[in-house]
Amino acid sequence: MRKILMTTCIAAVTACTLGTAYADDLLKMSQDPNQWVMPTGQYNNQRYTALKQITPANVGKLTPAWTFSTGVLRGHEGSPLVVGDMMYLNAPFPNTVYALDLNHDGKIVWKYTPHQDPSVIPVMCCDTVNRGVAYGDGKIFLHQADTTLVALDAKTGKVVWSVKDGDPTKGQTGTDAPMVVKDKVIIGVSGGEFGVRGWLSAYDIKTGKLAWRGYSEGPDSDTLIDPEKTMSLGKPVGPNSSIKTWKGDQWKIGGGDTWGWYSYDPKLNLVYYGSGNPSTWNPRQRPGDNKWSMSIWARDLDTGKVKWIYQMTPHDQWDYDGVNEMILVDQKIDGKMRKTLVHFDRNGFAYTLDRETGALLVAAKYDPAVNWATKVDMDPKSPTYGRPLVVPQYSTDHNGEDVNTKGVCPAALGSKDEQPAAYMPEDNLFFVPTNHVCMDYEPFRVKYTAGQPYVGATLSMYPPKGDTNMGNFIAWNAATGKIVWSKKEPFSVWSGALTTASGLVFYGTLEGYLKAVDAKTGKTLYKFKTPSGIIGNVMAYEHAGKEYVAVLSGVGGWAGIGLAAGLTKPTDGLGAVGGYAALSDYTALGGVLTVFGLPNS
């Protein structure tokens, strides 16, 4: 017994030591602005670079330094990594991964092409996108469309290990970028439109063994919620807090999927992420709050246990997924320094919470067109505290009947979808790519069949009344809940933003422009038309003493699904085809990485 205990203790200490070593290594690397070692830039999801070579004064001189074709003509929603002298990037299905040598103009060092069954394509909701690879422990991690998590040797591209996280025949797919933290690799699952009950998985970085899995719905044993210790708005959630808000066993096909971004606070050892829409889209078929879909989660990295949780859109009636990124920032709120989490939700409200306790600090509309709710109740003494106050006119759940609801703002794709915002610490401002789109929503009854669409609604999308622009790029003050400035864009801004220490903000447009604007004023200082529409995320790195900015172009995703998949019926693509029909006048399919730099003096 003594030997067994000793062996167990040694194994535990070794695991802890290795986990700390991995964490310290990646943390140190992520703080080096010459590299871009995580899909989000840093664990805090700020998408900020300390590089200063490219400035407001010289950004107008940027030119393409080199380009690289991925060979795939679907939506490119990710961004490359830069680790030392190597760049790593991947493509949409079949998710080919490339390792490029920056010392030799992006020469291909190795290439990995997964062998996946193409039958996974029809069960991918909104294009065959993938949001990037991750790095850690000398490996590149890819979450394939068929839910396989693959660990590749970063030097050779050879498979070190692989594990299947889900089952595509049941509608479960993989589109998210993994996150490596300590000795674990974190991934989620897609499939809310197929009745997939969402989860978050943590795998051992060395072996691929499942460390823990926390579901979005179900009994406390599945969600890893402690009824007495897990808090929501300052109170314990109580026993089986999820099951009580669903009718019968509906939670088993309840959605709440986890295909967005993940962030991590090393000091609190908490992983933050959001869960998506409840299934089906027809709210009459799932009475109740449908917890814990549409929620912000804080989980302990080592155990997966939930410290706190907050549901933003109870009983969602509009497909306002809560998967958008959680940006971690220490800032003053009402004169007091707080460890905050800032989240721009699909529902059109921007939330600022205390990331240690989950306390709700600010909730305000970040698009003036938002009309489905008047506000979020911020009175702790109110019975509706923390809930959006829904306007009956825009409810899609009317007196027990399915009713076609018109003029709902935002549309189902939200005031912002997964396209990540960025933070500028110098000005304490957030820069947000947004959708300025409304919809008509017609729910209908639908039956669940594993692996078949489980949507139950038909949509049409269009700009808000009186407007022609379908997007805005805004600067946001999260402490006050106010827009500082806003720039109109003809189409939704579907790319991720990048901020720089020199005072620039970069983003891409659906027509294909990479733009650089002044962070203080929003004035456009540079733009360049890339080969295809941009839904990728801008990143920066330095190589051989020179700063570069890079972005993937390749139109697609939900907004560009008409072009990507050749759809023409206005209500196809869950309503996006008609709303973005004019996009084909400005861009065409492509799959190209464009790397920009200043000309040599």
- The residues annotated with a catalytic role in the active site are 319
Cα atoms found within 13 Å of the Cα of residue 311, Cβ hemisphere only: 23
Rounded CA-CA distance 376/364 in Å is 7
Tokens at 367, concatenated: 């698009």
Rounded CA-CA distance 162/152 in Å is 9
Rounded CA-CA distance 124/520 in Å is 39
Q: Is 557 helix (H, G, I), strand (E, B) or coil?
A: coil
| Cis amide bond preceding 292, omega within 30 | yes
How far apart, in Å, are the Cα atoms of 563 and each of 363, 369, 578? 35, 27, 11
Q: What is the DSSP string of 124-191?
A: -TTSS-----EEETTEEEEE-TTSEEEEEETTT--EEEEEE-S-GGGT-B--SPPEEETTEEEE--B-
With CA atoms as reference, report the closest residue to 84 among 132, 41, 157, 32. Answer: 32
With CA atoms as reference, report the closest residue to 509 among 477, 470, 475. Answer: 470
Q: Is 336 helix (H, G, I), strand (E, B) or coil?
A: strand
| Cis amide bond preceding 410, omega within 30 | yes
Residue 321: what residue type?
Answer: D
Phi/psi at 244 (5° precision): -65, -20
